[in-house]
Amino acid sequence: MTNNLDVAEINFPVNDNSGAKLMAPLLIQRELCERFGGCTAYDGHGSWVNPDGKLYSEPVKIIKVAFQASQRNINILKHICFKHGKRAKQEAVYYSINNKATILDTRF
């Protein structure tokens, strides 16, 4: 059993901007399980305002994973967030590691 792990949390929309269900939350869970051995996901709701002042309020899947927060593993987590955010045409993806939040811009 591994002790003293760090905890990452990804909040990812359940639907795309037109309301269609996204596969990304399930794909993220699969990747996290393959990379780090498991994860936990549950439903939530998130709201944020983009730089243009548009309010987004939407259901999200909250996905948590325990892992060693080495620079390599942090880069893997960031890549997973960026890749799925970009594919899902999200402006940004929220993730945190040990309650330190990052808003990852996925528009570029």
Does pLDDT of 73 surpass 80?
A: yes
Q: In the predicted model, what is the mean pLDDT of residues 90-99?
A: 95
Question: In this structure, is residue 81 part of a structural domain?
Answer: yes
Q: In the predicted model, what is the mean pLDDT of residues 8-35?
A: 95
Question: In this structure, is residue 101 part of a structural domain?
Answer: yes
Give the pLDDT confidence of 33-60 residue by residue, as tens digits. 999 999 999 999 999 888 899 898 999 9
Q: What CATH code is carried by the domain that includes residue 86?
A: 3.30.70
Structure-block tokens of residue 105? 């811009």
* Of 72 and 91, the one with more pLDDT: 72
Structure-block tokens of residue 94? 């929220």
Residues above pLDDT 90, as percent of the chain: 84
Residue 24: which domain range? 6-105
3-state secondary structure of 104: strand
Closest CA to 69 of 99, 98, 30: 98
Question: In this structure, is residue 94 part of a structural domain?
Answer: yes
Q: How many domains does the chain have?
A: 1
Question: In this structure, is residue 1 part of a structural domain?
Answer: no
Question: In this structure, is residue 58 part of a structural domain?
Answer: yes
What pLDDT score was predicted for residue 106?
Answer: 92
Question: In this structure, is residue 46 part of a structural domain?
Answer: yes
3-state secondary structure of 44: strand
Question: In this structure, is residue 13 part of a structural domain?
Answer: yes
Question: In this structure, is residue 41 part of a structural domain?
Answer: yes
Query: C-alpha angle with apex 45: 42 to 51, nearest 5 degrees?
Result: 130
Q: In the predicted model, what is the mean pLDDT of residues 74-82?
A: 97
Does pLDDT of 1 surpass 70?
A: no
Q: Structure pTM?
A: 0.92
Does pLDDT of 6 surpass 90?
A: yes
